[in-house]
Amino acid sequence: MTKIKVCGMRRKEDILMANTCRPEYVGFVFAKSPRQLGIDSALELKKALDPEIQAVGVFVNEYPEVIETLCESQIIDMVQLHGDESAEYIQRLKEKVEVPVIKALRVRDRQQIREGAELPCDYLLLDTYTKGMYGGSGKTFDWHLIPPIDKPFFLAGGLQESNAGEAIAAASPYAVDVSSAVETDGYKDFEKVKKFIERVRAYE
């Protein structure tokens, strides 16, 4: 079964929506973004989140100490590195935190994905390359570029209800990750999230 991550939780309503729609993962964006959360807000959201749903912290070139603190305080259950973090950075972080680490790649070509699969992370996340943006672009990339790799990966970038089935068929990801397309006026939209999740569940 393809797992689902809904990224960019910002309000208590978003968490109540997640508790109802039941994705496996939700994302708290700590990177600079219109969806950026502070630590205190993240703590409040995590307290309201169903404990069966994992909270993923999304970071771009963050000081490792910040990530370590969020993991130790159990505000996040998983780390998503969405910047230019090197293999050495990932390795050092893995030695400090006990939670799984996802490394995002902004996909340019097959070779980059093959090399990414060798990184010392637990999962890859394959997102669209968009100049000047680290993530949350709402744009898709050519899923047929993805070569067979041994590492499980999250598929991201412009996913929505209408393309979720095609994306899963083309890429066979471990999980799909959605953000922009399930928003209205910059906030998560219950109906859009519900329809996206129903479409992915119906695909199995």
> What's the rounded Cα separation, in Å, for the pair 60 and 30?
8
Contact between 151 and 172 (Cβ < 8 Å): no
Contact pattern from residue 143 through residue 182 relative to ligand LGQLAAA5, giving x for each residue in contact according to CB under 6 A and a dash for the rest: -------------xxxx-----------------xxxxx-
Name the minimum Å distance from CB 73 to ligand LGQLAAA5: 21
Query: Is residue 199 a contact residue for ligand LGQLAAA5 (CB under 6 A)?
Result: no
> What's the rounded Cα separation, in Å, for the pair 174 and 127?
14
Name the minimum Å distance from CB 1 to ligand LGQLAAA5: 19
CA dihedral of 14, 15, 21, 27, whole degrees rounded to 10? 80
Contact between 40 and 47 (Cβ < 8 Å): no
Query: Is residue 135 a contact residue for ligand LGQLAAA5 (CB under 6 A)?
Result: yes
What part of residues 44-63 is at the interface with ligand LGQLAAA5 (CB under 6 A)? 58, 60
Query: Is residue 2 a contact residue for ligand LGQLAAA5 (CB under 6 A)?
Result: no
- Please say which residue, 95 or 153, places its beta carbon nearer to ligand LGQLAAA5: 153
Query: Is residue 70 a contact residue for ligand LGQLAAA5 (CB under 6 A)?
Result: no
> What's the rounded Cα separation, in Å, for the pair 29 and 59?
7
Question: Which residues touch 162 (CB under 8 Å, ≥6 apart)?
Answer: none
Question: Which residues touch 63 (CB under 8 Å, ≥6 apart)?
Answer: none
Residue that the structure tokens 């637990």 belong to: 122
What part of residues 110-129 is at the interface with ligand LGQLAAA5 (CB under 6 A)? 125, 127
Name the minimum Å distance from CB 7 to ligand LGQLAAA5: 4
Longest dimension (CA), the chain: 41
Q: How far is CA 175 from the centre of its chain?
A: 9
Name the minimum Å distance from CB 202 to ligand LGQLAAA5: 20
Query: Is residue 90 a contact residue for ligand LGQLAAA5 (CB under 6 A)?
Result: no
Contact between 19 and 53 (Cβ < 8 Å): yes
Query: Is residue 35 a contact residue for ligand LGQLAAA5 (CB under 6 A)?
Result: yes
Residues that bind ligand LGQLAAA5 (CB under 6 A): 7-8, 27, 29, 31, 33, 35, 58, 60, 82, 125, 127, 134-138, 156-159, 177-181
